[in-house]
Every structure is written in C-alpha cells, then in structure tokens.
Chain A
Amino acid sequence: MREIVLPGTAISDQRISAENTYFDGAKTRSEVVGLYDSAHNEVIQLEGRWKPRPGDVVVGIVERVGRNGVYGISLTEAVDGLLIQDKYDNARFAVGDVIEAEIRDVEHKRLAVLERPKLLRAGSLMQIKAVRVPRLIGKANTMITQIIELTGCNIIVGRNGLVWMRGSNVAAATAAVLTVEREAHTSGLTERIKSMLEKINGNESRT
C-alpha cells in the first residue's frame, strides 16, 4: 500500500529508520511530500532538488575549461561538477559539450567530483525533475530499457535530471519520458508507456 505523506505526517508510532523521515520523540515523521511504501518502509520524495551521491551517473554540460584537463561541469542550479582528467586521457572537451560521467566524490554536498567522462555527440537534451529519475529508470532498469527498445533511441539518463537522447524517434522517446515524469506516482505506468509507444510505432508502420 502506498499513500501520499506530507511534512510532519506520522508514518509510525515507533522509531523506524527510513529515508526522508525524522524521529519526533518516539514517533517517525515524514520530512517531505512523498509516497510512503509501508511494505518497504520508505518515503519516496515526489518533489525537490537532487542530492549528489558517489556512484551517480550524471549528464552535464561543460561550462569552463581550465588548464591540464580540469573542467567545470554544470549539473544543476545548486550542484556543480568538477572533472580532473587523468593525464593519460587524451580526450578533450570544449565549452558547451554534453558529457556523461560518474560521481566519484561529493564535497560539501554541492561539488561533485566526476570521473569516467564520455562525450555525448549531436543528440538532444531535456530536463526532468530529478526526483522522478528513479521512476524513469525503473526497478532493474525496466522502464528505460523498454523506452530504448520501443523507440530505438540511444538514451542516457542523468541522476541530476538531464536526459540526453539520439535517434530517429526522439519525439516518441521525449513524449514517453515526459509522461513518466508527470505520472511517476501512479501505478501501472510501465504497461501504459508500453502501449503508448506501441501505438505510436503502429501508426508509423501503417503510414
């Protein structure tokens, strides 16, 4: 059973350890607008900014180019990325390039040190709410794999909310991503996205 909780909503009369909650005396309360999943004892945030974590895959835009392979990468309004390239790495980036990278370390909660950068060439970029990214990826990647398979697009989803895509069917992929963003809190979403994309594919093969 999943229900919408709000800041201050008591989710338990006992102290239970769950993300996005706090202890108030003997009780546990939600800190956010979220979905409380009592089976898994978690509060899934429905709104709010992304908090960087080591291991997160992000999509960023090169904002500054320093010397010796040092780059400032724009990730979100509140979090900057820093990329220091290995001296054996010859790949060089220019201002405005879109890259995919992984977070190695987070300093002061707002500077993400990046590694393993990859240039994302000539695609299109869109932004969704970062809190909806887990739904877009899906449990064991089910949602995003389905969108990639049914549209034939190459799609990279950054935990920071930037989504890069390339392929002949970007319009369908964009529509699917926006639908997931809008309806992330509803059930049966994976099935609905599947039939939505199959319908688009069906219409196209008929014309």
Chain B
Amino acid sequence: MSALDIVRVGYVKELLAKGQREDSRGMLDFRNISIKTGIIDHAEGSAQVDLGNTRVLAGVKMVVEEPKPDTPNQGNLVMSAELLPLANADYETGPPSPASIELARVVDRGIRAGNCLDLEGMFIEEGKAWSAYVDLYILNYDGNLFDACELAAMAALASAKMPGYKDGAADYTKREKPAKINSIVTSTTFGKIDNKVALDMTGAEESAADGRLTIETDGKIIRAMQKGLSGGFSAEEINGLIQESFKKHAELRKRIEESIR
C-alpha cells in the first residue's frame, strides 16, 4: 500500500466508525450491480459483473473427462480464480496467491453445496462425464471479489449451453441444450470495522476491515460461510447477518435471472 492508500484507509475508517461510507451509501447497501452474460462466445457460458468499480469476468468451458473415482456417475465442477495483474497495482504475476485460492474455493463451495449445477445430469456414459471449468478473471479490483465472483460464476453457469457429444468426445461445433441448473445461490459479504458492520466493502474499506464474513444462500437455507481476516463476530451478529443475507438473496437472484433472458 502506498502512503496515500494508508491515508485513504484512515479516512474510510473514521467514516465507518460514524456509520458512514465513502460513497455515501447505507451500511447494508450494495453498490450498483451490472451483470452481462454471453460476452465470450467461445466459452460455453460467460458473464461480466460490475460491482461498483470491481469488474470480474467468468468463463465456463465444458470438457469431456473421466468421472472422478469417488463419483463415477456424475460430472465435475472445477473453479479457479485469477487476480490478474492488470486489475490492481498490487497484484503480481506468478502462481496463484492464497487470496485467489480462497476466493475460488469459497465460490465453489456455495455453488456445490447448493447443488446449483446438476452434476448427475452431466454424466454421459460409462467412463465419460462433463466437467464444467469455471474461470474467474479479476479485471479491476475495488473490493468484494467474493460477491462479484459468486454472481459471475452463477450467471455464467446458468447461461451456459452444452456442446455436442460425438464418438466419446465433445463436439464444440454444436451448442445444444442449456446446462441444467437446480438452484441459484447468492453471496453477501460483510466487513467489520471497529464494531461497525458494512456490506459490499470497497477496496479501501477492505483494507480498513478487521473481519470479513461471507454468507451464501439459496434463499431457504445457508449453503456456505467463510469468515476471513483476524477479527471475530458474535453468534448474535452472525444470526443478524444471515437474516440480512436471506433478504438480499431475492434481489440478487432476480438480477441473475434477468441477465440470462
């Protein structure tokens, strides 16, 4: 972080302590959300999500592979995230960072636990099943990659079309039926800064935050959670945030559905 960033983080911290935000939204408001699907026609599914100034692109490739030995009758989901060095001055080239691995695993967990993608329906025949490779490309960083990536992965999967299948291999010249989606999971990530809780933190707010909590839900039950950073949350606090997360689900889900039409 540059010295100016340190000053900005200090300023954001002061504001949050008063229950205010640098962009003057409410503590539990999202920034503007835009979801566009079908951006990369070479991918079977794709979505670009803008969450304020955070921009991520998710691409889905469907590949014919051997099913995993422990799940011989279903397909597979492989999630990766890359914090591209063009997204932020602090991101470096090189092997995946712990932050990008955590990001991909948390998004993966919610979608997997919610049984969003119908993995059983992706079984083709003995020894053959579809694997969905979801790659999350971070293009511009300004905080809250978790929720942006969850929206992008979900919208990319829900808009994906399966390639054809011929003689034991994928036929990429064909796009047949849509990928089967059982449910839509959305995520809400809260930050805790000096005992104040804020949804959808900007980059400066994330730098100021002591604790972070991601809650993923399908609208009925909790599907995955991840607490990050060193700060803690009380059980009562978490209970309140789960209820908030359920409330936000309807709107986020609507945004995903609208993006697919």
Query: A residues within 8 Å of B by Cβ?
Result: 60-63, 74, 77, 96, 98, 124-125, 127, 162
Contacts and interface: CB of A to CB of B under 8 A. Distances in A.
Interface of B: 2-4, 6-8, 10-11, 89
A98 B7 contact: yes
Most buried by A among B7, B8, B10: B7
Contact of B4 (A62, A124, A162): A162
Contacts of A124: 11
A96 B89 CA distance: 21
A74 B11 contact: no
A192 to B, nearest CB: 24
A74 B4 CA distance: 8
10 contacts: A61-B3, A62-B3, A74-B2, A74-B4, A77-B2, A98-B7, A124-B11, A125-B8, A125-B11, A127-B4
A62 B6 CA distance: 11
A74 B3 CA distance: 6
A77 B88 CA distance: 13
A127 B8 CA distance: 10
B6 A125 contact: no
Contact of A125 (B2, B7, B89): B7
Nearest to A61: B3
Contacts of A96: 3, 6-7, 10
Given A96-B10, A124-B11, A63 B4 contact: no
B6 A61 contact: yes
Given A61-B7, A74-B2, 20 more contacts: A60-B3, A61-B3, A61-B4, A61-B6, A62-B3, A63-B3, A74-B3, A77-B2, A77-B89, A96-B3, A96-B6, A96-B7, A96-B10, A98-B7, A124-B11, A125-B7, A125-B8, A125-B11, A127-B4, A162-B4
A96 B7 CA distance: 7
A170 B96 CA distance: 42
Contacts of A61: 3-4, 6-7
Contacts of B3: 60-63, 74, 96
Contacts of A63: 3
Contacts of A98: 7
Contacts of A125: 4, 7-8, 11
Closest 3 A/B residue pairs (Cβ): A74-B3, A61-B3, A63-B3
A47 B8 CA distance: 23
A124 B10 CA distance: 11
A123 B2 CA distance: 19
A162 B7 CA distance: 12
Contacts of A60: 3
Contacts of B2: 74, 77
A26 B6 CA distance: 49
Nearest to A60: B3
Q: Which of B3, B6, B89 has the most CB of A within 10 A?
A: B3
A63 B6 CA distance: 10
Nearest to A125: B7
Nearest to A77: B2
A13 to B, nearest CB: 39
